Structure 1
Amino acid sequence: MAAIGGIDHKLIAVPVVAASLGLSAYALYRLHCANSKVAVPGSDVYESTKLLSEYLVFHFGTPEELIPYPFGPKDALDFPKRCAELCLKHFKPKDIGQSRALDIGCAVGRSTFELARGVNEVIGIDYSQSFIDAADILCHQGQMPYKLVQEGDIFSEAVATVPKDIDRTKVSFEQGDACALRSDLGTFDVVLAANLVCRLHHPKYFLDRLQQLLPKPGSILVLTGPYTWLHQFTDKSLWLGGYVDANGKAIKGFQGLQQELGAYFGLVEQVDMPFFIRETARKNQWTVAHATVWRRK
């Protein structure tokens, strides 16, 4: 997950410095992160108790907890589960050997757990330590109590529960930066990045790494995003879309993804996926993410 804060504008010059040293921009960026305290833009917002509660109910809440009314966008519920199902719909293992999936930007882990229904090993990574701590509790204990905001300082008790038919021993979680993932992660058959790319401080670094994470032809990549390009997460010079170029042409996020991924991945499917985030009993967010499925060439 990305975080709020100032951008280190020295990083914009990374590709130039990298070329002079004979390194890839990604490799030099990892070196920079390892040797300095990089304040990742947007990170603070993801460490609040309020947001942790919102994400626990977003991932594990019952329909009655999320929309306690006879009306509302019920088709927008269970977004993390639907993301995993979209991955597994397209993942067709060629043999019965070990299969691996990566859920990057996993938040509190619902998609990570759901991927374990069809994959032998799943790793969930998020920038937020509080999200990862919660996901670890869910992984080891199967459930986690939390407080659900009703209004103001009024809360109700709730419990996030991992479905009992999921084998949690297949799942592990760790804190990490999607733009500077550790070099020894290995390779995967499936990568899911839900609502992540437009929250990254260097989205191209993440997209460039995907060809290494998914080297095998036929491997599946699923990206979702509302394309809400914001200055507090990403310097405008690094946006993949949401801007007008020098020729007056509007460049959208999907076009940016096609340009970055097209050499190594083929587009398999695209679909609009609504999701619903509950803030209080009466204030909520309804958003439509653009989901794209890509297959490694």
Structure 2
Amino acid sequence: MSLVLAAGAGAAATALVQQLLHRLQRKSSSTKDDEVQERSTTSSAGGGAAAYETKKAVDEYLQFHFAAPEDLLPYANGPKDALSFTARLAALCERHCESLHDFTGERVDPVALDLGCAVGGASFELARAFPHVLGIDFSKHFVDAAELMKSQGVCEFESVVEGDIKQKFVARVPEDIDRNRVRFMQGDACALPATLNSLDCVLAANLLCRLPEPMAFLERCQSLIKPGGVLVLVSPYSWLKGWTDKSKWLGGYYKDGKPVRTVETITCVLSPDFELVAQEDVSFLIREHARKFQWGCSQAMVWKRKGKVV
């Protein structure tokens, strides 16, 4: 009996994801919704998001998400704990998503959203545990690269060694990951359509401080995630005017002579509908060239949606 229920639940979840994708694609291609169109075309204002529409950015992120640890950081005295960033994020989502630990067969298969998925590294890692994963990014170049990784499983990229000297590598999705569990599409995290809702898990990694309207995203999370579902919010809080107008910053400024911290604003906005269930520091490493790296340490917060679980 439980096998029959599980099969039925799986079919229902597949139908749900296909329906969501159809609605999202129809929404993104429509020119009737002037508000969404305007938001999408102005999200790169100030030259921020445009930086991701380059081959250099795609190469750097393919390396960031998929490079073998020994290729990304070949030095024995380097910060090894900052490697495998996407895998660690997916594991964090898996630990806290209760839907993944329901074995009654009475619920539909869990659906995860990787928002700001870039070239898809975390989306594929989420597919180890989640039967259905949707990756959304504003950058067309990133989504194209993610789609290529899905269809081919591999993609060649260049890594800067020194100056104009470059070395070619091949990004690979691990063979034990079912790539068919993942879908990708282009979209705006600040203007997600209402048809996208009732998700079990939303991962927003290093996204918040790169949004032109971060408050709009936070306020949307209440209707985006089902009761019992989780929002895994990961950010280094690197607020820059080129990405977000200073009037829209959630923290990193003074008000009435007192510092305003991003975590305080997040807590104020989410607390009415979410419960903070976990918090930790998550380091990451982006290679610029053979001897220069960006090391960062994001704050990860896991927020569980309040309400009756159905």
- Which secondary structure does the structure 2 equivalent of 1:117 belong to? coil
1:9-29 deviation per Cα after TM superposition (whole angstroms, max 9, x unaligned):
xxxxxxxxxxxxxxxxxxxxx
1:105-153: per-residue Cα shift (whole Å, max 9, x none)?
A: 0011111011111112100001111110000001111111111111122
Question: For the residues of structure 2 that align with 1:132 and 1:44, how far apart are their CA atoms?
Answer: 14
Contact 2:117–2:135 (CA under 8 A) maintained in structure 1? yes
Query: What RMSD in Å do the two structures reach over aligned CA positions?
Result: 1.4
1:92 is displaced (CA, Å) by 1.8
Counterpart among 46, 49, 54 of residue 52 in structure 2: 46
Equivalent in the alignment of 2:20: none
Q: Which piece of structure 1 moves more, 92-101 or 160-169?
A: 92-101
CA distance in 2, matches of 1:44, 1:163: 30
Structure 2 unaligned blocks of 5 or more = 1-32
- The offset of 1:38, in angstroms, is 2.6
The answer as to 2:67 corresponding to 1:58 is no
Cα distance in 1 between the residues matched to 2:40 and 2:275: 37
Identify the residue that residue 224 of structure 1 maps to in structure 2: 234
Could you tell me how far 1:36 is from its partner in structure 2? 7.5
In structure 2, C-alpha distance between the alignment counterparts of 1:154 and 1:109, rounded to whole Å: 27
TM-score when scaled to structure 2? 0.83
In structure 2, the CA distance between the partners of 1:35 and 1:49, relative to structure 1 (3 Å rule), is closer
1:76 matches 2:86: no
Match of 2:118 in 1: 107
The residue number in structure 2 matching 1:275 is 284
Counterpart residue identity of residue 81, structure 2: D
SS of equivalent residue, structure 1 residue 106: coil
Question: What TM-score comes out, normalization by structure 1 length?
Answer: 0.86
Residue type at the aligned position of 2:172: T
Q: Which has the higher helix share?
A: 2
Check if 1:236 corresponds to 2:236. Answer: no
**Structural mapping, 1:242-253, within 5 Å:** 242-246=252-256, 248-253=257-262
Give distance in 1, aligned partners of 2:81 and 2:39.
Answer: 44
The code of the aligned residue for 1:264 comes to: D
Q: Report the AA paired with residue 215 of structure 2.
A: K
Structure-1 separation of matches of 2:263 and 2:147: 33
Tell me the equivalent position of 2:275. 266
Query: Counterpart of 2:158 in 1: which secondary structure?
Result: strand
Aligned residues between the structures: 266
Q: Kindly state the Cα deviation for residue 33 of structure 1 after the two structures are TM-superposed.
A: 2.9
Give the counterpart of 2:192 among 168, 181, 185: 181
